[in-house]
A and B are shown apart, each in its own frame.
Chain A
Amino acid sequence: MVAEREPGKCVPEITDDTVRLALDIGEQILVCGGEIGRVEDTITRVCNAYGAARTDVFAIISLIIVTVTDADGKSFTLSRRIFGIRKNMRRLEQINALSRRICAESLPIGQAQQLLKGIMDERQKVVWRVTGSLLVGFFFTAFFGGNLRDCLTAIVVSGVIVGTQILIDRLAFNHIFSQLVCSFFAGTVAILSVKAGLGSSVDAIMSGCIMLLIPGLSMTNAVENLIVGDTLSGLLGFFEAILIALVLAAGFAISMFITGGLL
């Protein structure tokens, strides 16, 4: 059956493209640091906006499966494997706004794909990431009792951390490895700079800079997933967060051994 096309108005129709669009949106929400509930909810809403009779979504932090049934009883199933979370709240916010718009205005699929591509092409500005990290390092060292010299040293250490993170992101190593390397470099630089007389308290500098590496977002999401009933994702996220914290400690411990311990 071919529905009559009104200019500028979308004909609700479920095709592979529609499901793929919904899956792309869901994937981005998950990768940017959204909760599982939000991913499943958004995919369902987008598919329904394009005329799905029934949408079944299952998402955990490493996989999304969608089966959409259209009004004629025809089913489409697609799945997407997710590798690694790259938190980006700005993109999450934009994608959220896009999905709301799709539901409210039934955007033509081509236009929706283009808008999504536009959002994806907008990269997080490195300058904000670096500024944010340096601010965190500086102020949290003060928070944990460092003096001005410690805080300035912490800027160097957090610079090393964010530099390593950006580099490793480009090389696409896994998250755990990245964490180990970052904490090792941070620990080494912190201890050496104190030995060289730049800072005075390794404890304050390390405590401040450790804040950059703590898996806070994974933990928050894990707790939230557990509470709303996505137990599986909650547990996966929880164990990942604990593993990251342990690797963080290991990285610092290795740097202590190599530099010959603390003063």
Chain B
Amino acid sequence: MNIADLFKEKLQNQSIETPPELWDRLETHLNNMGNSINQEIENNISTPDSQSIATSVAKAGGWKIAAIAAGSVATAGIIAFAVITNFNSGQDNMSGDRAQMNQPVEENTSNSSISQDTIDISENIYSSAKEEADVIPFPIPSSNNTSSSSPKNIDKPTNNNIFYQGNDQPLPGLSNSNETIAKVSEVENPAPALANTVVDNANTTVRETPEIKKEEPAITKNPVNTRQEESIPKEPAANQTNDFKLFIPNLITPNGDGANDLLVIKDLDKLTSYRLRITNKKGAKVLETTHYQNDWTGDHLPAGSYFYTIQFVFEGVEKVQYGIIEIIR
């Protein structure tokens, strides 16, 4: 004997005891099915407007005036409806049908009460949302310790910040603390572009005066003892009157149509020195340069959000600016 045959023989024509309350549930199910049909007919006959308004308001949830208007229409509808049903039930003898006839009246009243409830709830939600909005303000970056006052400029880099992990080098031309000055004097490998005349000057002038003049930039390579610089404060301490800010677009569309194809940063030539870094969402570097030619088109990177960080020295003050660049292709 096969196992399938066993199951077939035992179960195919077997009947099983049915719970007695199942019929009651089935009956209510059938009633609901019947009612839904009857209800549609009734609604079409009597008061389609009040019904539709009330339900739509209940769905939309919470325009007070509209709901009150709908409620009044609904109550008017109920009265008219009750008259109609009484009239009908007078003619009809079947008790079951009468019960079904009366059903939609209750439906109407419950509908209006529902819409009233939704008003209360939605008002509560609205007020609570308002309170929250009062409590939690729009996040504004802290600006208590640095020179720039614009909210887009976040001037205090912390060691936890993603933009500052890794090779933190002091920018050349920086002039604020004595330690930095010492660092600048330790320059060994000046960058070829700008440094041919300046390094000696930088060495001497920096040693003598705490202020570097704007006309004497010094581009440096990293000194040997990079690791010791972590304790150096990166923000300027003295010069805080300067609120210069670079304009960096937050969107480029490198599709070759001539508009916003390139990442163009104005006023780069006014800076003493700068380092521009662009990373993707995972923090991987996609661009790092100290001589940006306003020619970045996204380098065939996938569309999405990228983050820029630009450290720059302007009139002897080091600043950091960072934000998001969206690439849309």
Chains A and B form a bound pair:
no
